[in-house]
Amino acid sequence: MKLLSLFLSFARVGVLTFGGGYAMIPILEREIVDRQGWASSEELMDYYAVGQCTPGVIAVNTATFIGYKVAGNLGGVAATLGVVFPSLVIITLIAGILTNFADIPAVKSAFSAIRVCVCVLIFNAVLKLWKSAVKDRPALVIFILVLGLSMFFNISPVVFVLFCGAAGIALTRLGLRGK
């Protein structure tokens, strides 16, 4: 029953998510944290951070981590299949239809407006991440440093995540952050 629940919960997340991994944060938080109680908001953000620096899609990686936490290997498989299944079905249907209509001005306009909506969803996700992540001055300094470096240099996200992890450990050992 737990495997079916994982599959259906992540299928619900998968069918409601537009715009990629970051846009799904509010939906995932509502389903996984609030509704199911399988992870805390902080755990979810940790899974997102790890999912960002591991190969593959963030949504799939996060689903796998949570599924594994809830029900082991089979839970990871069930959650992963759940989050991917709706996209697979929808994209297959759209691919068959879209090629015939992609050049129609109304379709182009619709996709242009959808991109704007996705930007808003991602912005909302950033605000939620901000509230749960930037809780003190050291976190703010790390945020500003990484933001600045990422804007002006082409540095791998893996480097940023490793740097921030090391900085968090160092700041805690120096007593500059809460334990």
Average of pLDDT values for 24-31? 84
Residue 158: pLDDT band by 50, 70, 90 thresholds?
confident
Res 179 pLDDT > 60 = no
Cα torsion for 167, 175, 41, 132, to the nearest 10°?
-80
pLDDT digits over 115-142, tens only? 898 888 888 888 888 888 888 899 999 9
Lookup result for tokens 């909302």: 124
Measured in degrees and rounded to the nearest 5, phi and psi for residue 18 equal -125, 135
With a threshold of 0.85, does the pTM exceed it? no
- The whole-number pLDDT of residue 19 equals 64
DSSP string, 64-101: HHHHHHHHHHHHHHHHHHHHHHHHHHHHHHHHHHHHHH
List the chain domain ranges: 2-132, 134-179
Start-to-end Cα distance in the chain: 37
- The answer to whether 82 touches 9, Cβ cutoff 8 Å, is yes
| 21, two tokens | 């991994």
